[in-house]
Structure 1
Amino acid sequence: MPTASTRTATSKSSSRSRAKDAIGMLREDHKKVLGLFEDYEKARSATVKKRLVQQICEELTIHTQIEDEIFYPEFKAALKDKELVPEARVEHDSVKALIAQVQDKEPDGEDFDAKVRVMGEFVKHHVKEEQNEMFPKAKDSRMDLVELGERMAALKEQLTLQLH
């Protein structure tokens, strides 16, 4: 019969194997935010657009912080990267600048729509590079993607609570 410590160790390892790895978590975030941009393009009402932009801004703010604080430093260290991470950080800065221009603002016409559309294009480009270049390299590396995913999930939960 298993002891309490054996059960604890077993439950920790089984919950660890069920945990989403870092790449799975980031891909899920990408899918969600790209869907929000698609919804924005279809939206006609200012109320709906404002709600979608708020959601987009929150999702991107949390996502970029998780990548900047946890994923990118680990990727950079594991792969001795001097190209992908710096470029990704510059892309994040561009998106953050657009977030500042639309978050908590009224969707008041063509310029607002253009800013959201350009932000969506930046994000699509960024997602494509991460998923096609960065993620395969991360998978082939010695990075512990499950442990990284656990840390990222904890930060995401903390940041989500701060925003709400």
Structure 2
Amino acid sequence: MGLSSLSRTSEPKVFNSLERRKFTFYGGLEAFYYARFGFFKVAYAHDMFNVHNGDTAHISWNYGLAVKQWVFDLALRTDWKSAKVIQYYYGVRQNENNYWSQQYQAHSGWNKGMELTTRYILNGQWNILMAYRYTSLSDEITDSPLVNQDNSQSYFVGVAYRF
């Protein structure tokens, strides 16, 4: 029986208390290529504080369109996470559950998604912001017994003031 079918069964996933996963800061390089049809971004980063010693990469295409007082920004993106990053954040530690820690061993994976950000310009200083981001999580993440969805969605509504 493969890992994918094992982690998605109706078997109850019982865990001891889960340990806290620490956040870290990443340092790296990013490059932009600007064209008439938008811009491309490529980035690579490494864990700077040795929390998991993992790496991440990012590739996206962004396109902006202004219509009167509205500004629309669309981004299509993919993010790579190394096995060390995925194992640290989505892996099960032995003291959390011995069975699942032996069954799930992470590999690197690619998340894919899109983002739409909309701004309504009220005047020279004030903007209303609205954003939506959808990310399809890689199989390497969704195979984790800690994860019960195959995507992540976030919304944002706010205002911005420019000094």
Structure number having the greater helix percentage: 1
Higher RCO by CA contacts (8 Å cutoff, separation 6 or greater): 1
TM range (shorter): under 0.3
User: Which has the larger Rg?
Assistant: 2
Structure number having the greater strand percentage: 2
